[in-house]
Amino acid sequence: MSFNNTFVNACLKKDIDHVPVWYMRQAGRYQPEYREIRKKYSLLEICHIPELCAEVTTLPVQQLGVDAAILFSDIMVPLGPMGVKYDIIEKRGPVLETPYRTADDINSLRALEPEQDLPYVIETIKILARELKVPLIGFTGAPFTLASYMVEGGPSRNYIRTKQLMYSHPDVWNNLMDKLGQMVVTYLYAQVEAGAKAVQIFDSWVGALSPADYMKYVYPTMKKIFEQLKDLQAPKIYFGVGSGELLTYWSDLDTDVIGLDWRVSIPEGRNRIGERYAVQGNLDPTLLLAPWPVLEARAKEIINEGLQKPGFVFNLGHGIFPEVPGDMLKRLTDFVHEYSASVIKNK
Ligand code: 1CP
């Protein structure tokens, strides 16, 4: 079987013969095989065993026939070597032993050296780069989203402590953004060096901010990150949930692809970010629990909208829920491939 580079080509707005598809959280609890592995190993243990981690990363590619793999890891993983003590609690998410809230807390963070600090991640990527027939997506959390876990101490609804730090001690906040921004740049270069063919920056919770606060407290760091990533030999995807009102402000970031959630349509998303970027998205993941005709109709609309301009990757607007039946995802993947191929052929 030859290497399927359709995903990377779509990210770069090149010609494609079908719309590529992958799913956020495509490796996870909805898979019986994953649940079996998780009976024996914690999520972080899986990340530490390269052969096993590569297997978990590869499972959805084999089962669903998706056009890209995403490294099995968590956004918290690079924070460990920087000094953050955390665990990932089942059905909850990342939880810290002690939150980071003061100037001293943040000064104590040390810089990430990926090859020395995360050799198991590098090794996993090397295995996958050798074995996969589709591109591997490397990833990192974005500074705001990572900071939200560090300052709150865990998942949050209103990000009160995070915003409090931001408003009350902008110098301390900026120091935190700066350190996390440096980590993002170093970590992504290391992942691509090891063999990742694209990268996604997850700013999952940035939609909690007003545009004014985004511009003041987050944008300068994101602008700098993308400038520093200009020599990265792989397309970059920037994604946030509920980020519709921020999209206009993303229109001069040096990324290749913008990930959209389902609250903004693909054409409206393109209006807001401009012609320059490819887009990725944006099926509401809840539709995977709807009757097939309802799901199919919506997928069709998204594909038609996506194909109006060059540069489209089919994905969900956010991660797969554990309740989703795997055969629904397989059926959707086949549908995206077949339907989009027929639209492209008849153009
Ligand atoms: O196939 C894949 O996508 C799996 C790899 C992956 C990725 C890309 C995992 C494994 N985590 C992530 C990124 C991640 N982790 C994000 C960004 C993407 C997103 O928005 O979904 C975020 C916000 C986290 C933090 C996190 N880790 C949460 C969310 C908590 C909250 O604040 O609501 C949770 C539940 C986790 C645990 C986790 N990470 C990954 C999995 C499969 C799981 C849950 C299942 C398990 O414990 O086995």
Residue from 21, 23, 25, 282 to probe ligand 1 pocket by mutation (most atoms less than 8 Å from CB): 25
Name the DSSP class of 31.
S
- 88's enclosing H/E stretch is strand 86-89
The closest residue, in CA terms, to atom 42 on ligand 1 is: 28
161 labelled catalytic:
no
- The mean per-residue pLDDT over the stretch 75-90 comes to 97
Q: What is the pLDDT of residue 347?
A: 86
* Backbone CA torsion sign across 303, 304, 309, 310: positive
Q: What local confidence, expressed as pLDDT, does residue 199 receive?
A: 98
SS3 (DSSP) at 199: strand
pTM above 0.95, yes or no: yes
The answer to whether the CB of 61 is under 6 A from ligand 1 is no
Query: Peptide bond before 5: cis, by omega within 30 degrees of 0?
Result: no
Residue 89 near residue 155 (C-beta atoms within 8 A): no
Q: Is 88 in the pocket of ligand 1 (CB under 6 A)?
A: yes
| pLDDT over threshold 80, residue 1 | no
Contact 122, 194 (CB under 8 A): yes
- Would you state the pLDDT for residue 170? 98
* Neighbouring residues of 175: CB distance < 8 A, sequence distance ≥ 6: 103, 106, 107
Question: Average pLDDT in the 94-119 region?
Answer: 98
Starting at the edge strand found earlier in the chain, the sheet holding 236-239 runs 69-70, 136-141, 198-202, 236-239, 257-259, 278-283, 312-316
For residue 318, is pLDDT > 90?
Answer: yes
Q: Residue 281's closest CA among 22, 86, 57?
A: 22
Residue with CA nearest ligand 1 atom 9: 74
Task: Write the CB contacts of 203 (distance below 8 Å, at least 6 apart in sequence).
Answer: 141, 142, 144, 145, 222, 238, 239, 240, 243
Position 86 scores a pLDDT of 98
φ, ψ for residue 287 (rounded to 5)?
A: -65, -20
